[in-house]
Amino acid sequence: MKATSWSVFRLLRDRNAALYLTGVVVSGFGTSALWLVSGVWVKDLTGSDGLAALCTAALWAPTLAGPVLGTLADRVRRRPLLICVNLGLAGLLLSLLTVGSPASVRLLFAVLLVYGAAGVVEDAANSALVVAAVDPALLGDFNGLRMTAREGMKLVAPLTGAALYTAYGGPGVALLDALTFVLAAGVCALLRVREERPGPAAGNWRRQTAEGVRLLWAHPVLRPLVRAGGATMCLASLGSSLNYAVVDAVGHSPAYVGVLYTVQGVGSVAVGLASGPALRRLGERRFAGYGIALTGVAVAVRAVPCDISLLICSLAGGLGLPCVLIAAHTAVQREIPAAALGRASATADTLLFTPNVIGLTAGAALVELVDHRWLLAVLGGGLLATAGSLAQRSASRTAARSPSDANPA
């Protein structure tokens, strides 16, 4: 605990790191509020559950183009790019002030698609710029605190967004989100980072994108981590799609799922605070492996119809699931050359988060066909197998070293 407190304090004393995290909190607050409200807004305007569900799909869909969009972050200086993206999103969101009828819902979907694409570019540029702005020894701590900030916003922003929507409607929430992007642009402008202007592009856009994918997938450390992360997100999202069946089995109303999400969020906030020291002690693979294993146990035990175990499993899942994401992002930042880091980071995000959408879709179909208890047991076993595979690769890598590696002459 003392080591965790010291590393967090040291990170927050770093001017650039503190500014970065402030930007994450500010923009994350607006994004989380709009994420919830957009579906409610479409439902109120059209009465369609299907169109309301498409709002989340519109926000996530650009992730599929991550390798292509991330290349932009390697072709220009990252800080000016971030400022322009934030201000551009603020202006774009103002167009939503005109949405007030079923016919104008098309504009809302178009904005959400651009919003998602800009988010991919912004995440890639942020990941690359952080390496130049923050002490490399603190990257694990930074990524953990960024996770804590984002998850913390998910606990409070939806409630604020819902209250604002009730009082002022969707345009009020859009205006709030636009304001947060203006503030985030201002915070980014205060960063003190020396960036070299990127040299002439080596090849066309397609070749540069392929180079970023190759650097990531050919790397002996990053490939297993990202592959395990994608498998984990798929299996965990399959499990989360069974939440309503799990809650029904213990005799609660569907609204009780909100309690489980809150408990899970608390776990994610906690692991973000401890991730820096844990990464230094365990390394990326072991840290990720332990988190995946904990998630596997949590998913499997949810098959037991008991309130206490369900709450404990939600907390354990919140503690375990972010580990592989934090480990993968930190490893990418440390292992990939700065000139290609935007592409590689965006590619990693595509490989990590696309399986999440696949898992949610497949789970929605499977829950109608198979007893959820059997599914949870199988998914938990799959997660444990993923953790075991990652641990085995780590052990093989360690065993391959000669004694002189540890005791050089």
Residues 347 and 128: beta-carbon distance below 8 Å = no
Cα→Cα distances 251→200, 244, 257, 306, Å? 63, 11, 12, 10
Q: Which residues contact 288 (CB under 8 A, 6 or more apart)?
A: 225, 228, 229, 323, 324, 327, 328, 390
CA pair distance 39, 35, nearest whole angstrom? 7
Number of Cβ atoms within 10 Å of the Cβ of 166: 11
CA 167 to chain centre: 30
CA pair distance 200, 290, nearest whole angstrom? 43
CA pair distance 128, 215, nearest whole angstrom? 15
Secondary structure class of 36 (helix, strand, coil): helix
Count of residues making up the chain: 409
Q: What single letter denotes the amino acid at residue 111?
A: V
Residues 188 and 82: beta-carbon distance below 8 Å = yes
Task: Please give the radius of gyration of the chain, using alpha carbons only, rounded to the nearest integer.
Answer: 21
CA pair distance 50, 146, nearest whole angstrom? 32
Secondary structure class of 191 (helix, strand, coil): coil
The tally of CA atoms less than 13 A away on the side-chain side of residue 397 is 12
pLDDT at 94: 95
pLDDT at 403: 31
Cα→Cα distances 285→231, 238, 262, 348, 393, Å? 15, 23, 28, 16, 9
pLDDT at 254: 66
pLDDT at 70: 86
The tally of CA atoms less than 13 A away on the side-chain side of residue 159 is 7
Residue appearing with tokens 């399986």: 355
Residues 238 and 366: beta-carbon distance below 8 Å = yes
CA pair distance 280, 141, nearest whole angstrom? 9
CA pair distance 116, 89, nearest whole angstrom? 10
Residue appearing with tokens 């305007």: 45
Of 322, 140, 351, 383, the closest CA to residue 226 belongs to 351
pLDDT at 405: 35
Structure tokens at 271: 């692991």
Cα→Cα distances 246→311, 314, 328, 383, Å? 12, 12, 30, 19
Structure tokens at 409: 């002459």
**DSSP letter string over 12-30?**
HHSHHHHHHHHHHHHHHHH
Residues 260 and 250: beta-carbon distance below 8 Å = no
CA pair distance 85, 108, nearest whole angstrom? 18
Structure tokens at 31: 């994004």
Q: Which residues contact 61 (CB under 8 A, 6 or more apart)?
A: 113, 116
- Whole-model pTM: value is 0.80
CA pair distance 276, 284, nearest whole angstrom? 10
pLDDT at 409: 32
Residue-by-residue pLDDT tens, the chain, 409 positions:
555 555 667 777 778 888 888 888 888 888 888 887 888 888 889 888 668 777 877 888 888 888 888 888 888 888 999 999 999 999 999 999 999 898 899 999 999 999 999 999 998 888 888 887 787 777 888 888 888 888 787 777 777 888 888 888 889 999 999 999 999 999 999 988 777 676 555 566 677 778 778 888 888 889 999 999 999 999 998 888 788 788 888 887 766 777 888 888 889 888 988 888 888 888 899 999 999 999 999 999 999 988 899 999 999 999 999 999 999 999 998 888 888 888 888 889 889 988 877 777 777 677 777 888 898 999 999 999 999 988 776 554 434 333 333 333 3
Residues 31 and 18: beta-carbon distance below 8 Å = no
pLDDT at 210: 80
Structure tokens at 186: 């201002």
pLDDT at 325: 93
pLDDT at 85: 94
